[in-house]
Structure 1
Amino acid sequence: MVTGGKCLQKFMEMASTNCTQLKQSYWILIFGGIHFLLPQLPNFNSVAGVSLAAAAVMSLSYSTIAWVGCVARGQIDNVSYAYKKTSSADYMFYVFNALGQISFAFAGHAVPMWKGALGAYFINAICYFLVALIGYWAFGQDVDGNVLMNLKKPVYAIPVFDLLETMMVKKMNFPPGIALYSLLDLLIITLFIGVTFPFFGDLLGFFGGFGFAPTSYFLPSIMWLVIKKPKRFSASQMDHQLVVYVLQSCIFVGVFIMLASTIGGFRNIIADASTYSFYT
């Protein structure tokens, strides 16, 4: 919601300089309003074409435009790669927030399509690393969380919505229909959060830790250990024991990422909100 609204705003500011400029909140509302059309599709399979266009084609195009634009723009004058002058506490929370952003970017591998997940992550890594490295080369410490904003002014939620819809229809006896689709998509809540806290990097860090780290980094490991109930193994079963150690390490690292990134993102949202005029 936030990214789409900001990009719409930037596009219109560049394409139509003589028109009255709308504030960012309105652009987020306009972008969010488009999403109300998607829940009216009859079923989850009918969203496949939208998902392909949005998640695959648009994501690749977006990242390619970002790094190619940075190369074409070149380095800004007096580019600096030094750390921004701030307190040690700020450094720590920035690192925590960055962990959440990484979790957000590479979440979702609990989906049971191993080869597809590997292929997706390979492409994902190329896109992200090119944007990150070239964007930092061009703008240094002044790079924006959304690098396209420096050039002169992901649909992942759809499976979650489908899961909620299935649960409410089968277990809570909700009749399927337009009202249910609109309710399940939680568009109003998502849109409200986007308009209220349009802090791109902070939101990625917070939701990456709070929402994606558990389901991607340690809950699957806990589930495996609970289901298999592994005991101590003999020397001939050392490979199995190694798997247990790896899963235990994943749990430890995953819990740390969840706590650190959630705290870091939440703290940065509060810090940015202290200098932000809401609903302007």
Structure 2
Amino acid sequence: MRRHAGWLEMVYHSITGMLGAGVLGLPAVFSHLGWAGGIIMLVFSLWVSWYTYLLLVWMHEVPDLDNKAGNGIRRLDRYDQLATYVLGPRKGKAVLLPFQLIVLLGVAITYTVVGGDSLRAFATFINPNLSMGRWSFYIIFGAVQLMLSLLPSFNELSMVSLLGAVMSVAYCIIAIVMSARVHPAKGTVNYAPEAVERTPVERAMGIFNAVTTVLFAYGGHNVALEIQATLPINAQHKSTVPRMEKGVHITFVVTALAYFLVAIVGFYAFGTGVADNVLLTFSHGPTSWVVAMADMFVVVHVAAAYQVYINPVFIMCEASLSRRTRFGTVNPIVQTLLRMSLVVGVTVVGLLIPFFGSLMGLFGAIAITPTTFLLPPLLWLLYKQPTKWGKEWMVNWFLVIITGIMGILGTIGALYGIIKASSTYRIFAA
């Protein structure tokens, strides 16, 4: 692996991976949790995500006395390598791999949906009489990903990732400013979830889905070690941890500002009437070109972030194939076909389940919650073995248990939402 990145490159890789389109769904979370519940959930998820990301950073380098050239350090460059190191080869892969693949592919599916929807919104602004169906834009987005997927490795994604980071910050700023301009008249906007007409089951399912929608916003952990792996260890830098920590802190400060402002200002502007994607709530008017520009920023960002997430899947699949060949390498034609097949598969699933809010909740529950919030503290407990009933032991076990419960409840809520929405959806009708 080529290790030539600097901490600044790590920052924009991390921002592209962390500050995703999930931020546009955060105002809708408040429509189920209310002001108090929404803010508490944002604060809790930020703290836990920040802490668990650092746990992964600290476990990237482990002792290896046989590695003289590496100063007695072994680097765990992928999440699955960390799980294998702590749990053993068979158990590590069995515990982590299914969740990680669901995260990486799930985010790609969700980004196909939001990318296609945003592209459609932009095209409708250009031509209000546009007759192309929603599904057409998912296919266009997928075609763009086919071309980007031919980039040979993660190191070649630097400029793509930088562009994605800039775009994500830009559309967050637009969402905040446009929401702040709404100035709702007193009494015209409802902020009380209990005032919305819902059955008790719908209310409970909405709360479950809202909780894991927030958790979906923190999926960057699944590429944290791949990002850290691009930092070199040399005479100037004896460890990657200080540089990675610096980048993580900057990433989370930027992420926190974006998440809190978009969620709070967006909910204040529209209340419980806010859409799953806050940008789609704005009506046409003299400033609609700004919203259209934000839609295109979303398209560019998720196109870049999609590659950050799917690239580890390419690497895993190609490594598995190479182990099965006589020459230990994958034929370039086979490699290209493999990548194209994965992108086509992701696009097809996006066409079949184009429900942004429910997808965020589902993948947040079944995959991002375990890999972001549950597994890092569990691996830390097994690796470091802190004193039983000590502060570190109790904090990490609390996170394992509470986030496990959240994941189960969120899965139920998201599946309920998808089943309900799919009953009226027709794939080529919209």
TM-score when normalising by structure 1? 0.87
User: How far apart are 1:229 and its partner, in Å?
Assistant: 4.1
Residue 293 (structure 2) pairs with residue 177 (structure 1):
no
* Amino acid across the alignment from 1:161: V
Question: In the alignment, is the contact (CA less than 8 A) between 2:318 and 2:335 conserved in 1?
Answer: no
Residue 161 (structure 2) pairs with residue 51 (structure 1):
yes
Residue 256 (structure 2) pairs with residue 125 (structure 1):
yes
* Amino acid across the alignment from 2:282: L
| Counterpart-to-counterpart distance in 1, 2:257 and 2:362 | 24
Q: Decide which of 127, 142, 151 is 1:32's aligned counterpart.
A: 142
Classify the secondary structure of the residue corresponding to 2:181. Answer: helix
| Counterpart-to-counterpart distance in 2, 1:35 and 1:271 | 30
| Counterpart-to-counterpart distance in 1, 2:219 and 2:331 | 30
Question: In the alignment, is the contact (CA less than 8 A) between 2:133 and 2:428 conserved in 1?
Answer: no
User: Which residue does the alignment assign to 1:271?
Assistant: 420
Indicate the larger mover: 151-160 or 130-139. 151-160
User: Which residue does the alignment assign to 2:282?
Assistant: 151
User: Which residue does the alignment assign to 2:246?
Assistant: 115
Question: In the alignment, is the contact (CA less than 8 A) between 1:2 and 1:198 conserved in 2?
Answer: yes
Identity among equivalent positions (%) equals: 30
Question: In the alignment, is the contact (CA less than 8 A) between 1:108 and 1:212 conserved in 2?
Answer: no
Q: Decide which of 338, 353, 358 is 1:202's aligned counterpart.
A: 358
| Counterpart-to-counterpart distance in 1, 2:135 and 2:378 | 41
Q: Decide which of 369, 381, 389 is 1:213's aligned counterpart.
A: 369
* Amino acid across the alignment from 1:15: I
Indicate the larger mover: 171-180 or 80-89. 171-180
User: Which residue does the alignment assign to 1:85?
Assistant: 197
| Counterpart-to-counterpart distance in 1, 2:115 and 2:412 | 26
User: How far apart are 1:43 and its partner, in Å?
Assistant: 1.8
4+ residue stretches of structure 1 with deviation over 6 A? none
Q: Decide which of 105, 110, 118 is 1:7's aligned counterpart.
A: 118
Measured against aligned partners, the alpha-carbon deviations of 1:18-45 in whole angstroms (never above 9, x if no partner) come to: 4x42111111111121100111112221
Q: Decide which of 252, 258, 269 is 1:138's aligned counterpart.
A: 269
CA pair 133-231 structure 1, distance change in 2 beyond 3 A: closer
Classify the secondary structure of the residue corresponding to 1:216. Answer: helix
* Unmatched tracts of structure 2, length 5 or more: 1-111, 226-243, 285-301
Question: In the alignment, is the contact (CA less than 8 A) between 1:96 and 1:264 conserved in 2?
Answer: yes
User: How far apart are 1:165 and its partner, in Å?
Assistant: 4.1
Classify the secondary structure of the residue corresponding to 1:17. Answer: coil
* Amino acid across the alignment from 1:86: R
| Counterpart-to-counterpart distance in 1, 2:332 and 2:404 | 38
Question: In the alignment, is the contact (CA less than 8 A) between 1:39 and 1:182 conserved in 2?
Answer: no
User: How far apart are 1:152 and its partner, in Å?
Assistant: 2.4
* Amino acid across the alignment from 2:162: L
Classify the secondary structure of the residue corresponding to 2:255. Answer: helix
Aligned-residue RMSD, C-alpha? 2.3
User: How far apart are 1:168 and its partner, in Å?
Assistant: 2.2
Residue 402 (structure 2) pairs with residue 253 (structure 1):
yes
User: How far apart are 1:195 and its partner, in Å?
Assistant: 1.2
User: How far apart are 1:189 and its partner, in Å?
Assistant: 2.0
CA pair 58-82 structure 1, distance change in 2 beyond 3 A: same
Indicate the larger mover: 151-160 or 38-47. 151-160
How many pairs align? 271
Instruction: Report which structure shows greater RCO (CA 8 Å, sep ≥6).
Output: 2
Indicate the larger mover: 125-134 or 222-231. 222-231
Q: Decide which of 217, 227, 230 is 2:383's aligned counterpart.
A: 227
User: Which residue does the alignment assign to 2:319?
Assistant: 167
Question: In the alignment, is the contact (CA less than 8 A) between 2:172 and 2:262 conserved in 1?
Answer: yes
* Amino acid across the alignment from 1:115: K
TM-score when normalising by structure 2? 0.58
Classify the secondary structure of the residue corresponding to 2:375. Answer: helix
| Counterpart-to-counterpart distance in 2, 1:262 and 1:166 | 31
